[in-house]
Amino acid sequence: MTPTRRALAISALALLLPIVDGCSAPEPAKPKVQQILKMRMRENPPDTDPAQSADSLSDRINLAVHDGLVDFDPESLAIVPAVAESWEISKDGLIYTFRLHPGVRFHNGKVLTSADVLYSFTRVLDPKVNSKRREILAGVKGAEAFGRRSATQVEGLSAPDPKTFVITLEKPMPYFLQLLATPAAAIVPRDVYEDPQKAYLSQPVGCGPFKVARWERSNFMELEAFGDYYQGRPKLDKVLVRFIENPASAMEEYRRGGLDYMDEMVGSETSIARELPRDYRKAPLLGTFYFGFNLARPPFKGNANLRKAFNYAVDRQALCDQTFEGTLTPSHGILAPGTPGFNPQLKGYDFNPALAREYLAKAGFPGGKGLPAIDLWVNNNQKLLESAQKVQANLKSAGISVRIKAVDFATFLQALQGTPESPGDALFYRYGWNADYPDPDAFLFWLLHSRNIGPAGNIGRYSNPKVDELLDRARRLNAMEERIPLYQEAERIAVEEDAAWLFLANYTQRVLIKPFVQGVVLSPLGPMRIPLDHLWIEAHPTAQASSP
Amino acid sequence: MKSYLLRRLFGILPVLWAVATLIWIILFALPGDPAAMLAGGFRSDPQVLERVRAEWGLNDSAGAQYLRYLARVACGDLGTSYRQGRPVSRILAETFPATAILALCSMLLAACAGVALGLISAAWARRWPDDLISFICLGLISLPVFWLGMMLILLFASRLGWLPVLGYGMEGLRIPATQIRLPELNHLVLPSLTLALFSLGAICRVTRASLLEVLRQRYILSSRARGMRPVSVHLRAALRNALIPVVTVLGIDFAALLGGAVATEFVFAWPGLGKTIVHGIADRDLPVVEGGVLCLCLAFVLVNLAVDLCYALVDPRVRLQ
Amino acid sequence: MTLPTRASRIGLAIVICFALAAIFAPALARLWGQNPYEPVIPVGVIPPTAPEPSHPLGTDSLGRDLLARLLYGARISLSVGVLAETVALLLGLVIGGIAGFYGGWVDDFLMRMTDIFFSLPAPLLALAVTAALPDPATLPYLRRLPEPSLAVVLLVLGFIGWAGIARLVRAQILVLREMDYAAAATALGARGGRLLLRHLLPNALAPVIATATIGVAGNILSEAWLSFLGVGAHPPLPSWGIMITEGQNYLTTHPWVCIYPGLALFSAVLGLNLLGEGLREAMDPHRFALKR
């Protein structure tokens, strides 16, 4: 070694030393035996104001922090008491009288009274608040006038005494209590939410089982058990919600024991289920997955045969089994199994390439001739893109040529929705819909009624006066037995006569939960409804950690 | 010196204006409706949409929106996030430190290792250690960062269990009198290692090249001839001069790390600015994107200025005027 | 010009291999009887399937032959890299050449412009521009290209990459302008644009080529993480970036889906980098001062 080399080598070593030193990381601290649940959420919940809660992330946090008058039983979805201890509904189905639970306190110590309920519900309807979920209370008498600012208060909401609250509806709404069980109907304390500085956005205050202890928005949210919770203090001391965007990283964190719960798995679920058989849980979900047509534009406009050709061309079973590994179930219609009114007799469409070609010819495009290439709009998501490729291949063998157009969600939304007056750019797109309440109305009214054409939900711009009439009539009836035939007829027309969409599948939900977490119930309304206040940790987490 | 500094600082303004305008134009051209993203996604009430548009002035003409934006930014007001409903400056104050700390750490790691390997390479130029190091350095540059990150997670976190998989940690030290919380040290290791491995290659190559260049210079030969000991030649004369291009690369790399660590921030769930900006683009939270890009751009310009000032310190030949 | 180091010759060999794979991808894939777009596994088998004799690298998450996709991916990734660099090169040569040649306020203005492009965070810029560009299928010329979504990616990468090249070219021109042969050309009547185009730019090209080779490597990497962030080319195109992104979800359960595209990308980029470094050294005037 020449002196030059030695000199350089020595200086190199000197520079490397601090790195070697820096690499000896401290030992991970041993977790104490604690009732702490660590869960993953994709990102920070965008809306911690319950009046604006409209996505599953916000819903999950708002359901933990707030309570409404009533709630869903997580399993049966029956309406159970929450802040309201009991209620009466008048014979005509118009007047709801709620008795409030005594001794309900907010996180700031204040006692909840009917004035808070009045304030919270008025707030949802207040044009200044501009709630995205205004529709849950839009059926209350006087809501319309209040929204137009021609009344200073909502006529149908009243608080005759601190423990009683009365709601009067414009028309009967058989599913009204279900609407009151959605996160947006939470009861919030008036003194906190009247703040013009909106401090409640950073420090939400509710009467729910958990309060927000710490919150770093791109990092984590720490929920702490609320000691004075009126239904009894939750068994968990803390729920740590970690915001982890990349699902592959989150999966490793789960394996490693840094998470006790996660949904939104990626990769092969069959392998995950095999690897973590005690953690992997699957349950149905009230939701439908389909590819939609733009019915206001050619070639789909007024061409039911073409739409039927699409429906016959796609192999749903293979799509569900291969691309989705059984995490979707093939469907013949719109309503998900488990929804009241689900019709197992609905025939729908089975995979039948011969029929597809026949209908394509009937539609005026024999062998696909004359049919321009159609863009299939998909928002960027691996599974969705895979499913789009599968459908693309199916359609191609039927002679229909489709180009996949992957765009980010905002672009996707704009291309789909258009405005109530004019349709968006997308002719053919993937779409999905989850029910907010377990009623056929939650699907059919929003997706098929011509009143909701555009952003409100009927993105395909389906319009059939017969279906509108059936849906309107069903909305006014009280008895479920009378409503169901109307909904089933509306669904049948949309599916079998009009082929309004390319009907594909129903969702399921899959989650990974460490086996030591007890009391887990998966609600058909989605994993965000897992009742956090009923969970507990059975044994020392590290003793049973299922990491390899 | 003082007037030089003033002139440079003044020169930042047109650059900031141009960047502010450019990013505004790009964001304005972005398809997708911010109001639709705010008003509830798949199901939005047309009335609510209309009110949201009015509230944020999204119905105004492009010119009016641009002028309002420029006036606001000129007064130092970065606006309010559409989605979070709080000042963009607050969001930047929360996320920029995380990004800066990560960039700083990986820069330090990369600088130490890169210069060291560069020295070795130069000492054994064109022998096997040089070839080996070249190969390793180029190999590291040739990996996609997110892939490298995943591999490091699999190795050090999943297999060996030495380090946490991801995250910033919950209990890091809080810097008094600020909103800034430092990451936990063991959470910092993997992400900064990922980024450091990536930038290391360039630093090593530049060190090597510049050292070889300097060693050829006459004054080195003459000081050797005059009988100076090689160690002092290398450390005093050569290394010092050879470091000038290295400092430039460090400066550029540091600035690139501030804005370019996006994929790493995603893989390691690092609560940084890059991720915030990407979310901002996805959610059409335009004020956050504008503010974030301006912030990164300012940081870049300032780092470059600092690099130029460093020249004067390292190289006696450089006079700032 | 010969390549000076063993490493750079290895680099050249790797690059040639990949170029051949890219050019003959359809023929090679046909040799196996595979198609990069169609599932090749029997109905009822859940993909991805492990490597086996008929599918030497296994199949991906949609049951498509991975080897066939990798071969076609070489086509896509290499052409994105090269074409994007061509765009950057053209912009950089023009802007840098003009700035260096004319000097004065033109130089000042153009160099401030490159400063601005340098100061913008490149990945975020790429993200925003990719999202902001209108649907390529509706644009007048792009529409006719076989893959409009790729065209967007390579335009964006070129749009971002020109600033570095412009600086390099300008510096070169500044030196070359003062050389004797430039004076000779001027004396012989070459003026303005002609002098720049015929005499200066060709001579400035040599160091630029080395930088551009490394730039191609950088573009292939950029395409990969643009795909990772979900704004790259559109599936079902088998670009390596898309394949790695799809594959990372299967990393622990079906590693081959992610590892093979990763290896392909890695070796191609490494080859280009080695080659670029070699070219750079080959042009180093002091090269012969060092004895082996």
CB–CB contact C235 A393 (8 Å): no
Q: Phi-psi bin for A525: left (phi > 0), alpha (psi -120 to 50), beta?
A: alpha
CA distance C238 to C244: 10
Phi, psi of A20 (to 5 degrees): -55, -40
- DSSP letters of A123-180? HHH-TTTT-TTGGGGTTBTTHHHHHTTSSSS-TTEEEEETTEEEEEBSS--TTHHHHH
CB–CB contact A7 B185 (8 Å): no
Question: Which pLDDT value is given to residue B216?
Answer: 74
CB–CB contact B42 A4 (8 Å): no
C-chain residue closest to A268, CA distance: C250
Tell me the mean pLDDT per 10 residues along chain B, length 321: 80 87 88 83 80 87 91 90 89 91 92 90 83 86 87 87 86 80 89 91 86 75 69 66 80 79 89 90 90 90 83 64 50
SS3 of C49, please?
A: coil
Are the beta carbons of C124 and C228 closer than 8 angstroms?
no
Low-confidence stretches of chain A (pLDDT < 50) are: 1, 17-31, 541, 543-548
List the domain boundaries for chain B. Answer: 2-74, 91-314
Range C25-30+62-291: architecture per CATH: Orthogonal Bundle (1.10)
Range A67-194: architecture per CATH: Alpha-Beta Complex (3.90)
- DSSP letters of B59-96? TS-HHHHHHHHHHHHHTT---B-TTT-SBHHHHHHHHH
SS3 of C88, please?
A: helix
Are the beta carbons of B239 and A11 closer than 8 angstroms?
yes
**Segment C101-157, tens digit of pLDDT:** 888 888 888 888 888 887 777 777 777 787 777 666 666 666 666 666 778 788 888
Question: Which pLDDT value is given to residue C269?
Answer: 93
Tokens of A77: 């979805």
Are the beta carbons of A272 and A279 closer than 8 angstroms?
no
The predicted model scores a pTM of 0.87
Based on the number of CB atoms within 10 Å of its own CB, is C27 exposed (0-12), middle (13-18) or buried (19 or more)? exposed
Residue count (chain C): 292
CB–CB contact A405 C234 (8 Å): yes
Low-confidence stretches of chain C (pLDDT < 70) are: 1-2, 4, 43-44, 134-148, 235, 284-292
Each residue of B31-57: b (16+ CB within 10 Å) or e?
bbbbbbbbbbbbbbbbebbebbbeebe
Q: Which residues of C have a CB under 8 Å from any CB of A?
A: 37-39, 43-48, 61-63, 131, 135, 137, 149, 230-231, 234-236, 245-246, 248-254
For domain A285-508, the question of CATH label 3.10.105.10 is answered with: yes
Chains that touch A (3 or more CB pairs under 8 A): B, C
The residue whose two tokens read 């195109």 is C237
Mutation site, B106, B148, B166, interface A, largest A CB count within 10 A: B166
Mutation site, A219, A405, A421, interface B, largest B CB count within 10 A: A219
Are the beta carbons of A125 and A133 closer than 8 angstroms?
no
Superfamily of domain A32-65+208-279+514-548: Periplasmic binding protein-like II (3.40.190.10)
C-chain residue closest to A326, CA distance: C46
Cis preceding-peptide flag for A196 (omega within 30 of 0): no
Residues 6+ apart with CB under 8 A from C255: none
Q: Given CB atoms, is C12 within the 8 Å cutoff of chain B?
A: no
**Using CB atoms, which residue from B145, B205, B293 is nearest to C124?**
B293
Q: Work out the minimum CA distance from A512 to partner chain C, whole angstroms.
A: 16
Q: What is the dihedral of CA C95, C97, C99, C101, to 10 degrees?
A: -160
Question: Which pLDDT value is given to residue C135?
Answer: 64
CA distance A310 to A292: 11
A-chain residue closest to C234, CA distance: A406
**Segment B270-313, tens digit of pLDDT:** 999 989 998 898 888 999 999 999 998 888 888 888 887 877 77
Question: Which pLDDT value is given to residue A466?
Answer: 94
Question: Which pLDDT value is given to residue B131?
Answer: 82
List the domain boundaries for chain C. Answer: 25-30+62-291
CA distance B16 to C120: 10
**Using CB atoms, which residue from C121, C241, C274 is nearest to B293?**
C121
List the domain boundaries for chain A. Answer: 32-65+208-279+514-548, 67-194, 285-508
Size of interface B-C (CB pairs under 8 A): 141
Question: Which pLDDT value is given to residue B320?
Answer: 54
Tokens of C132: 């902001």
Q: Given CB atoms, is B150 within the 8 Å cutoff of chain C?
A: yes
CB–CB contact C249 A406 (8 Å): no
Cis preceding-peptide flag for C48 (omega within 30 of 0): yes
CA distance C92 to C220: 19
Q: Work out the minimum CA distance from C266 to partner chain B, whole angstroms.
A: 6
Count the alpha carbons within 13 Å of A5 in the hemisphere toward its beta carbon.
9
SS3 of C196, please?
A: helix
Q: Given CB atoms, is B296 within the 8 Å cutoff of chain C?
A: yes
Mutation site, B142, B214, B268, B288, interface C, largest C CB count within 10 A: B142
Dihedral sign from CA coordinates of A523, A525, A527, A530: negative
Q: Tell me the sheet residues that pair with C55.
A: C52
Question: Which pLDDT value is given to residue C290?
Answer: 41
| Segments in A426-506 forming alpha helices (H) | 441-448, 465-476, 480-492
Tell me the Cα Rg of chain A: 27
Question: Which pLDDT value is given to residue B193?
Answer: 93
**Using CB atoms, which residue from A252, A267, A404 is nearest to C234?**
A404
- DSSP letters of C158-177? HHHHHHHHHHHHHHHHHHHH
Residue count (chain A): 548
Chains that touch C (3 or more CB pairs under 8 A): A, B
SS3 of A428, please?
A: strand
Same fold, A67-194 and A285-508: no
List CB contacts (< 8 A) between A393 and chain C: 37-39
Q: Given CB atoms, is B101 within the 8 Å cutoff of chain C?
A: no
Based on the number of CB atoms within 10 Å of its own CB, is A20 exposed (0-12), middle (13-18) or buried (19 or more)? exposed
B27 to A470, B24, B71: CA distances (angstroms): 45, 5, 17
Domain B91-314 fold:
MetI-like fold (1.10.3720)
List CB contacts (< 8 A) between C118 and chain B: 300
Question: Which pLDDT value is given to residue A546?
Answer: 41
